[in-house]
Amino acid sequence: MAPASFQLIAALVLRETSIVYEPRKEYLVEARLHPLAAQAGCADIDAYVRLVTSDPAERRKAVDALTINETSWFRDNAPYQAFTDTMLPELLDRRADRRHLSIWSAACSSGQEAYSIAMLLDQHLPAGWTADILATDVSTAMLARVEAGRYSQVEMNRGLPATHLVKYFTRVGAEFEIVPTLRRMVRTRHLNLAERFPAVGQYDVVLLRNVLIYFDQPTKHSILRRMHEHVTPGGYLLLGSSETTLDLPPDLNAMWEREQIGRVQAHRPAGGGAVPRPAAPPLSAALTGARP
């Protein structure tokens, strides 16, 4: 597709959804718009982009196609690297008395986020430590998928290092099933973020990624306000990469401190006594299992 077409589409998606399409993602834009272009009888993607600029209904379809929430393992990588290299060493220090970590994957979808964290904990949690992961979603169908822990071949390809596929899954017919040790680490619960949270407790790390974008501004603020009491002092709240630039009202700004960890911006409860981090050797080399 022509660079001008890509820029136009990227700007449109950014304006309507806050989702960023980086320049090297041209191919993905093309792949996702191609069926729509064919359906609309356009000769090529550039012609379709011209149609999108003049036809609001087609614009809606294009934006929907480009914002399909496809879940990957270790989605975006950077948050998982920040978890392993920075958050985990600090939390191991802070929680040394109880030797237990609690993680909450809010809006867990089909469970790739929760199980990706479970894999990292399996690799990096010292002996004698335990961890539990709460996975919540508004969709009971999604929760059933997390509980089943079964994934199709196509899903297995999405960002999961081959070494992890071999180590953490067993083949069941045409699907792959998560091993019981990781399955036991994850519990599920139905939860609608827009409503009052039931008694879900406190978590050392809350992953609330790529979900706030679907709510209007007052609901976003309400969720961030209510989330505050569910993050332990010194704990972390992780939002999606396009969600960290949210303009917050003064009371929320006072509630959360922002901390830059590599390419990730974490939110931490204000006054949580974040300690200066020791320079720890990076643990993420083992993350991918990829050899240099």
Partner 1 sequence: MTQSPMTQSPMTQRALIIDDSKAMRSILRRIVAGLGFETAEAAHGREALDHLEAATATGRVPHLCLIDWNMPVMDGYTFITEVRRRPEWRHVTLMMVTTESEQGQIVRALAAGAHEYVIKPFTPDAIVEKLELLGLVGKGVLA
**Contact footprint for partner 1 (CB under 8 A):** 22, 24-28, 30-31, 70, 72, 74, 77-78, 80-81, 153-154, 156-159, 161-163, 165-166, 169-171, 263, 284-285, 287-288, 290-292
CA distance 100 to 204: 10
What is the closest distance, in whole angstroms, from the C-beta atom of residue 201 to partner 1 in the complex? 30
Nearer to partner 1, 32 or 228 (CB): 32
What is the closest distance, in whole angstroms, from the C-beta atom of residue 81 to partner 1 in the complex? 5
Nearer to partner 1, 168 or 256 (CB): 168
User: Which 3 state secondary structure label does DSSP give 282?
Assistant: coil
* Burial tier of 138 (Cβ tally within 10 Å: 0-12, 13-18, 19+): middle
- Kind plus residue range of the DSSP H or E element containing 225: helix 217-227
CA distance 263 to 283: 16
What is the closest distance, in whole angstroms, from the C-beta atom of residue 45 to partner 1 in the complex? 12
Residue pair 118/182 in contact (Cβ under 8 Å)? The answer is yes
CA distance 78 to 76: 6
What is the closest distance, in whole angstroms, from the C-beta atom of residue 265 to partner 1 in the complex? 15
What is the closest distance, in whole angstroms, from the C-beta atom of residue 117 to partner 1 in the complex? 14
DSSP-assigned letter for residue 128: T
Residue pair 83/205 in contact (Cβ under 8 Å)? The answer is yes
Nearer to partner 1, 140 or 163 (CB): 163
Nearer to partner 1, 161 or 272 (CB): 161
Angle between helices 56-66 and 3-17 (to 10 degrees): 80
Nearer to partner 1, 17 or 284 (CB): 284
Nearer to partner 1, 48 or 203 (CB): 48
Nearer to partner 1, 276 or 292 (CB): 292
CA 253 to chain centre: 22
What is the closest distance, in whole angstroms, from the C-beta atom of residue 79 to partner 1 in the complex? 11
What is the closest distance, in whole angstroms, from the C-beta atom of residue 169 to partner 1 in the complex? 8
Alpha helices (H) in the chain, listed in sequence order: 3-17, 26-39, 45-54, 56-66, 78-82, 88-94, 112-124, 140-148, 153-156, 162-168, 180-185, 217-227, 250-255
- Comparing CA positions, the residue from 274, 180, 209, 188 lying closest to residue 75 is 209
Bridge partner list, 169: 178
Bridge partner list, 207: 105, 238
What is the closest distance, in whole angstroms, from the C-beta atom of residue 74 to partner 1 in the complex? 7
Nearer to partner 1, 128 or 281 (CB): 281
